[in-house]
Amino acid sequence: MRYWLLKSEADCYSIDDLKSDGTTLWTEVRNYQARNFLRDMSVGDQILFYHSNASPAGIAGVGEVASLCVPDPTQFDQTSEYYDPRATAEKPRWFSPTIAYKETFAAFVSLPTLRINPKFRGMPLLAPGQRLSVQPVSPEHFTGIVALGRSS
DNA sequence: GCCAACGTTGGC
DNA sequence: GCCAACGTTGGC
């Protein structure tokens, strides 16, 4: 089993939205490196759900990969701002796994909290200037963040 | 809303 | 295939 971090703009799709949906198709990723990570996901992989554009930004809870990637339907939708004219049904360019809700942290784990804790040094999330919306997470970092999130 | 960092596009 | 211009991300 592997561990990942998924970013979502908090005012666009938050952990509460995932909770009420139960599962969601993770669409609209338009970055090749992020796409490749999505394709690497296996059913049962654990997801840290990160709120970006929040104050503060940080990790709100945990999800799980419920199904492997399918072609992202928004790439074929001419009315979508994520429409990609270069994508075809035979050769889709973008892919979406299904993510299931697992838990909302009792204690939101903010970005500043992660930065001051030497345990999390080396996380890609904390690297200056990184913007990738899908990132791998080490088992140690995942466990440490979940422990912080469950504490109150 | 600012702006630094980064990815993508497209002319050559 | 280089690289400048442009657009986007995302923390603050």
- Round and report the angstrom distance from CA (A36) to C1' (C3): 26
Is pTM beyond 0.75 here? yes
Q: What is the pLDDT of residues A116-137, one digit of tens each?
A: 999 999 999 999 888 999 999 9
Instruction: Indicate if CB(A126) is under 7 A from strand C.
Output: no
- Round and report the angstrom distance from CA (A131) to C1' (B3): 15
SS3 A20: helix
Q: Which nucleotides of B are covered by protein (CB under 7 A)?
A: 4-8
Q: Which of A6, A73, A59 is nearest to A34 (CA)?
A: A6
Q: What is the pLDDT of residues A77-123, one digit of tens each?
A: 888 888 888 888 888 999 999 999 999 999 999 999 999 999 999 99
Q: What percent of chain A has pLDDT over 70?
A: 99
Which nucleotide in the DNA or RNA is closest to residue A129, CA to C1'?
B5
pLDDT at position A6, please?
A: 97
pLDDT higher than threshold 90 for residue A15: yes
pLDDT higher than threshold 80 for residue A152: no
- Round and report the angstrom distance from CA (A104) to C1' (C3): 45
- Round and report the angstrom distance from CA (A32) to C1' (C7): 16
Q: How far apart are CA A23 and CA A84, in angstroms?
A: 25
